[in-house]
Amino acid sequence: MYNRQVWEATPADTPIHKMDVRIKLALLAAVMLFAVGLEGARPLFFLFVCSLGMHFVARSSVQRWQVLAVFLLVGLWGTMVSQALFYNQEPRTMIACLVSPTTPWIGEWTGGIFIYREGLEHGAVQALRSGTMLTCGLLICWTTDPRQLLQCFLHWRMPFEVAFMVITSLRFLPVIFEETAVVFTAQRLRGFEPARSLSPVRWIRTAFYVLFPILARSLRRAATLALSVESRGFGRGNSRANLPMLPLPQQFACVGIFAVILVGATLKVIYSLQHNGVAYFPQLRGVYDFMAVWL
Amino acid sequence: MKQTIRMAVLFGLLAMSLVLLAIHIFPELGRQGKRQDSQRLLSQMGRFEQVAEIPLGKVEIRGFRQMGSTPGLVRLSPAGDRLVIGTENGDVMVFNIDGSSVWRRKIGMGKISALEYSPDGGRILIGENSQQGAVICVDAATGGEKWRRNSVDELGVDLRQKTFPGIMSIAMDESGNSYAVALRSIRFPNGQTDYFARIYKFDANGRVELFPRDHNLDVWVSWCDIDPSGNLLVFATSDYTPGPYRRYQNNIYQFDARTGQNRWSLHTETVEPYERTNMRFGPKWSQDGKYMSGVSADGRAFFVDAAGKLVWSRVLSAPQRIQGIFVNATGLHTQQIGSYAIFSTGNTYNRANWQLPTPVEHPQSNSVFLFDREGNLRKRRKLGGMIEEMKLVGQELAVAVGRNIRTKDASIHGVALLSAPELELVDWLPAAGPCVAVAASPKHVVAMEAPLQLDSGEIVGSYRILVWRKTGM
């Protein structure tokens, strides 16, 4: 996980690697919009499984799968458990009691701590959303050279400053993980054992011991970077990059992706108008039913 | 080695999480219809054995604090070999009586509010509550839609206030005509309520006639019945904010089903503390077409002849003032068998607010009453839980018994089979959760069970269909 190689894009001979960066970004945008727009657990699960399948196509390494699995498990169960504990909508069904309302002090103070079934389900939907975005984001990260991304952003006339920030953050990601490993190693050499106890106080103390050095080093690196780019006349030159025309099949793919986004957005708007009592079109009843049942 | 084990655990956890999620999101993956022979359960008297359990998915789990039952409908085909189920989740499903699936379809945005087989078993009529309040006729064999008729054209809709028209009930006559009661109500902030109700008559091809022909009823109508000849349509009314401006002030109306003319209407006296007689289920025609029986929410039974004359009325449960509030057991269902009428009462409710608990249980609550045509009480049987539905089959009455919100006794859930008209307990088909619907044929009894959360937090029962078959058949 702390290996820099795991985080940086590596070349490979797979359809995902060969795909033009513009198609990848269009696909990413489509997935993100659908992950936010879809409300049913079924289509979200389908989208999530598809995004995981893309990693198989991209032949992600075992180390990368390991990283992905850690993030997904933490996100999935963390969201589900937190929603299950703090769900406050009605109806809600208690499926377990962690702290009885009659328990002295904490029970009386909190009114009891329960796990709610509807909270678990709501958490699962949220986790699928974030899991899908994370999976697709990492896929782009691991299969695309940041220079190509920068070129693509500039080709699309993204402001140079914004494009630079996005790419810098991507470039910094492996560096931060590598620095975390360095800090851990340094702490261990000084006799510190962060995982020796499960005490929350100790974990908080560990977080401080680890985070402060990383933050300090990041700030120092950012200052150096700022000085470096300023001295080279950042943003004063021609910030437009020209990419070659996409081949025809990829152009069709791009148009198809945008058509899917457009159709999805239109359906969502139509359904929202009906749901909020603004406009209902009886002739679209089939569309409403499809949206209610499947999306 | 340690690294490999760690990785295996990690990927195993991820795979297990995904599988658990998939099973939860797609419950049909684990759906088992048929019950295994080794698991067969017998009814209390051993006359019935449970042959199938059909899970219906997840629904809100209610406790004893919420009034109102988990919605759901179940009907058996006239031949008794198939059952159609309408669920809270908007599924319409047809199963063979052994629990194997035939077809299923989603109703979409609407909520299923009525369901009936046609007398020949070839069609199924589905009533829904939605922006269009449609009656949908589907092919019973395939689930394909034959026709659809919206009630929104007559009853209107307010999208912003979400007051949608809905089909409250569907009745069929022997000629294959169906009668659907549609209703929309609007509650205003000043407490006043406007009602828009209409009754639709459809022939087998979906051609429609309206009752009344040219205007909406301005009262609550949720039930209608057609006499055995198919000529006389009768319905009762309710009004929870009565006022002198209502056009339909009476309680029972009869229309000529051929011409659409109002033949007569009947007004019944009110009882303290009620301002109006409200009848939600009934009236019901006798098999000879000479009488109708009805039951009012204030706990009275009515017996009316075909000409609209009140033959008698009897008090099933009288409102009682306890600790400053009126409590009563609401009158619910009625059935007629031969020269007898059967009535039922439900849970005890608080007149001031039906969602609030009552200090005591009404002694006449959750009971079935048998009267002869002269109005003599022949028998009363208390069943301990809410009488959710009654179905008469041959000489037996199948009664779905649900929650008792006062005693909170979970052992009373199930289906009671009573001899008709004697009301003797013939058999008891137990269920873990409250039974909210029942259907019966000479060979089978089918019940819909709902989950219930006890005060201890324990959940009993689940949202499912239980099928029992007569032993030895």
Q: Quote the minimal CA–CA distance from B155 to chain A in Å.
A: 15
Q: Quote the minimal CA–CA distance from A65 to chain B in Å.
A: 8
Name which residue leads in pLDDT, A106 or B429: B429
Nearest to B181 by CA among B143, B238, B229, B138: B238
Cβ-Cβ contacts under 8 Å, B21 against chain A: 45, 76, 124, 128
Residues of chain A with pLDDT > 90, as a percent, come to: 21
Amino acid at B5: I
In B, minimum Cα distance to A74 occurs at B14
Where do we find the tokens 């050499």?
Answer: A189
| Residue B38 reports pLDDT greater than 50 | no
Q: What is d(CA B266, CA B254) in angstroms, rounded to the nearest whole number?
A: 9
- Cβ-Cβ contacts under 8 Å for A199 (sequence gap 6 or more): none
In a domain, B463, yes or no: no
Rg (CA), chain A: 24
Q: What is d(CA B5, CA B340) in angstroms, rounded to the nearest whole number?
A: 75
Q: What is d(CA B12, CA B20) in angstroms, rounded to the nearest whole number?
A: 12
Question: Span A245-269, mean pLDDT?
Answer: 87
Is B152 at the interface with chain A, CB within 8 A? yes
| Residue B37 reports pLDDT greater than 90 | no
Provide the sign of the torsion angle of the four alpha carbons B277, B280, B286, B289, taken in this order: positive
Cβ-Cβ contacts under 8 Å, B24 against chain A: 121, 124
In a domain, B184, yes or no: yes
Name which residue leads in pLDDT, A103 or B435: B435
Tokens of B201: 């008559």
Amino acid at A285: R
pLDDT (0 to 100) of residue B399: 93
Q: What is d(CA B26, CA B24) in angstroms, rounded to the nearest whole number?
A: 6
- Cβ-Cβ contacts under 8 Å for A181 (sequence gap 6 or more): A2, A3
Range of the domain at B159: 107-240+257-267
Is A124 at the interface with chain B, CB within 8 A? yes
Q: What is d(CA B464, CA A278) in angstroms, rounded to the nearest whole number?
A: 37
Q: Quote the minimal CA–CA distance from A49 to chain B in Å.
A: 9
B61 and A121 within 8 Å at the Cβ level: the answer is no
In B, minimum Cα distance to A279 occurs at B159
Q: Quote the minimal CA–CA distance from B161 to chain A in Å.
A: 7
| Residue A288 reports pLDDT greater than 50 | yes
Amino acid at B33: G
DSSP-based three-state secondary structure for B32: coil
Q: Quote the minimal CA–CA distance from A200 to chain B in Å.
A: 23
Residues of chain A with pLDDT > 70, as a percent, come to: 95
Nearest to B212 by CA among B198, B233, B231, B195: B198
Is B112 at the interface with chain A, CB within 8 A? no
Question: Span B306-319, mean pLDDT?
Answer: 92
Tokens of A161: 């400053």
pLDDT (0 to 100) of residue A3: 66
Banded model confidence at residue A286, pLDDT cuts 50, 70, 90: confident
Cβ-Cβ contacts under 8 Å, A128 against chain B: 21
Name which residue leads in pLDDT, B383 or B355: B383
* SS3 annotation, A21-74: HHHHHHHHHHHHHHHHHCCCHHHHHHHHHHHHHHHHHCCCCHHHHHHHHHHHHH
In a domain, B421, yes or no: no
B161 and A277 within 8 Å at the Cβ level: the answer is yes
Identity of the highest mean pLDDT range in B37-41, B373-377, B420-424: B373-377
Where do we find the tokens 């009316």?
Answer: B304
| Residue B398 reports pLDDT greater than 90 | yes
Cβ-Cβ contacts under 8 Å, A94 against chain B: 453, 457
| Residue A254 reports pLDDT greater than 90 | no
Q: What is d(CA B13, CA B8) in angstroms, rounded to the nearest whole number?
A: 8
What digits encode the pLDDT tens for the residues B114-134? 999 999 999 999 999 998 899
Nearest to B224 by CA among B212, B240, B215: B212
Is B189 at the interface with chain A, CB within 8 A? no
Query: Reading across the β-sheet that carries B435-440, which strands appear in turn?
Result: B48-55, B464-470, B444-449, B435-440
Cβ-Cβ contacts under 8 Å, B12 against chain A: none
B159 and A290 within 8 Å at the Cβ level: the answer is no
Q: In chain B, which among 26-85 make CB contacts under 8 A with chain A? A: 26, 60-62
Q: In chain B, which among 356-415 make CB contacts under 8 A with chain A? A: none
Closest Cβ–Cβ partner in B26, B162, B453 for A277: B162
Buried residues in B212-226 as b, exposed as e (16+ CB within 10 A) = beeebbbbbbbbbbb
Provide the sign of the torsion angle of the four alpha carbons A288, A27, A13, A69, taken in this order: negative
Contact B185, B195 (CB under 8 A): yes
What digits encode the pLDDT tens for the residues B435-473? 999 999 999 999 999 999 888 778 888 899 999 998 865
Q: Quote the minimal CA–CA distance from A13 to chain B in Å.
A: 25
In a domain, B227, yes or no: yes
pLDDT (0 to 100) of residue B309: 93
pLDDT (0 to 100) of residue B40: 64
Rg (CA), chain B: 23
Banded model confidence at residue B108, pLDDT cuts 50, 70, 90: confident
Please state, rounded to an integer, the average pLDDT across all residues of chain B. 88
Cβ-Cβ contacts under 8 Å, A277 against chain B: 158-162
Task: Mean pLDDT check: name the lowest of A9-23, A193-207, B429-443, B452-466.
Answer: A193-207
Nearest to A62 by CA among B21, B17, B3, B19: B3
Is B5 at the interface with chain A, CB within 8 A? no
Cβ-Cβ contacts under 8 Å, B26 against chain A: 42, 45
Q: For strands B262-266 and B291-295, give the pairing.
A: unpaired
In a domain, B413, yes or no: no
Name which residue leads in pLDDT, A35 or A97: A35
| Residue A2 reports pLDDT greater than 70 | no
What digits encode the pLDDT tens for the residues B342-377? 999 988 888 777 777 787 888 889 999 999 999 999
What digits encode the pLDDT tens for the residues B210-257? 989 989 999 999 999 999 998 999 999 998 888 888 899 999 999 999
Number of domains in chain B: 1
Tokens of B368: 């079935």
In a domain, B164, yes or no: yes
What digits encode the pLDDT tens for the residues A111-124? 888 888 889 889 99
pLDDT (0 to 100) of residue A237: 65
pLDDT (0 to 100) of residue B34: 55
Is B11 at the interface with chain A, CB within 8 A? yes
In A, minimum Cα distance to B454 occurs at A94
B10 and A124 within 8 Å at the Cβ level: the answer is no
pLDDT (0 to 100) of residue B33: 53
In a domain, B262, yes or no: yes
Contact B118, B106 (CB under 8 A): no
- Please report the ipTM that was assigned to this predicted complex: 0.81
What digits encode the pLDDT tens for the residues B174-217? 888 999 999 999 988 888 899 999 999 998 888 888 989 989 99
B13 and A73 within 8 Å at the Cβ level: the answer is yes
